[in-house]
Each structure stands twice: as structure tokens, then as C-alpha cells.
């Protein structure tokens, strides 16, 4: 398992754990990101957030701050 921040781009990743505070968990859940979801990192850059695609909501994208992306554990599918 690795963190969402360190995971490679453009491959399907499964969210295994979210080790963040309640507010951050609610924010992620509200935007449809939950443990067990499959996501694809579209783009990450040196500074700024990680851009990803949630397979269950295929048309929209999510930007997640670097700090929070570090607290999300993922595994390659």
C-alpha cells in the first residue's frame, strides 16, 4: 500500500484507508470519495493538488490537496 500522493498517475487505484480528521473525511465522502472506491490519478505536479477521477462518478474530477493526499492509502488494482 502507498499513499495517493506517491502513487503513479494513470493507473486504477483502490482506496484502502483514509487517516484524516472528521472534517476531512466528511469532505471526501460528500464529494463521493470513500474507502473501496477505484480512482485514477490524472495529474500530480510538484506543487499544488492531486487531480483524480473517481470511477463511480466518471464525468467529474476531484482535486485533493497534497497534505490530504498523503493521508489516503491506496493499492494498485
Partner 1 sequence: MRDIKTIALIGQPNSGKSTIFSVMSDIKTSASGSTYEQKKSLINIFGEKFNLVDLPGIYSLNSSQNSEELTLDYLLKGKVDLIINVVDGTLLARSLELTVELLELGLPMIVAVNMEDIFSNYGITIDYKKLQEILNVPVIPTQALFGKGIKNLTEHCYKRIKGKSIAPGTLDYTHHFEMHLQKLYPVIEPLKEKYNAKTRFFAIKAIENPKVLPQDIREAVSDISSGIRRELEEEHGKDTFETVSYERHHLAMKMAEDISVISNRRSKPFIEKIDNLLLHPVFGNFFLVIFFFLYFLSIFVVGDFLAGLLESPLENLATYFQGLKEVNEFAWFSVNGAYQGLIGVVGIVLPYFLPLVFLTSLFEDTGYLSRIAFLIDGLMHRVGLHGKSVVSFILGLGCAIPAIYATRMLEDKRDRVISAMLIPFVPCSARITVIFALAAAFTGPIWAMVIFLYILLVIAIVGKVLSKFLSEPTGMVLEIPRLRKPLLKSSAKSTWLKTKDFIREATIFLIGGGVFLGWVEYFGVAQFLDAAFAPILHAILGLPEQLGSTLIFGFWRKELILVMANQALNVSTLSALPLTNAQVIVFVIFVALYFPCFTTFVVIVKEFSWKIATYSGILALAIATISAFLFKIILGA
Query: Could you list the residues that contact partner 1 (CB under 8 A)?
Result: 18, 20-36, 42-43, 45, 47-49, 51, 56-65, 67-69, 71
Smallest gap from residue 6 Cβ to partner 1 (A): 16
DSSP 13-67: EEEEEE---HHHHHHHHHTT--TT-EEEEEE--SSS-EEEEEGGGTT-EEEE-HH
Smallest gap from residue 58 Cβ to partner 1 (A): 7
Smallest gap from residue 69 Cβ to partner 1 (A): 8
Nearer to partner 1 by C-beta: 24 or 40? Answer: 24
**Could you tell me which of 59, 46, 25, 49 has the C-alpha nearest to residue 15?**
25
Amino acid at each position: 500500500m502507498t499513499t495517493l500522493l506517491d502513487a503513479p498517475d494513470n493507473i486504477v487505484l483502490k482506496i484502502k484507508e483514509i487517516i484524516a480528521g472528521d472534517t476531512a473525511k466528511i469532505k471526501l465522502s460528500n464529494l463521493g470519495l470513500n474507502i473501496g472506491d477505484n480512482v485514477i490519478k490524472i495529474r500530480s505536479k510538484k506543487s499544488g493538488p492531486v487531480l483524480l477521477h473517481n470511477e463511480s462518478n466518471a464525468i467529474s474530477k476531484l482535486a485533493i490537496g497534497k497534505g490530504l493526499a498523503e493521508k489516503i492509502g491506496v493499492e494498485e488494482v
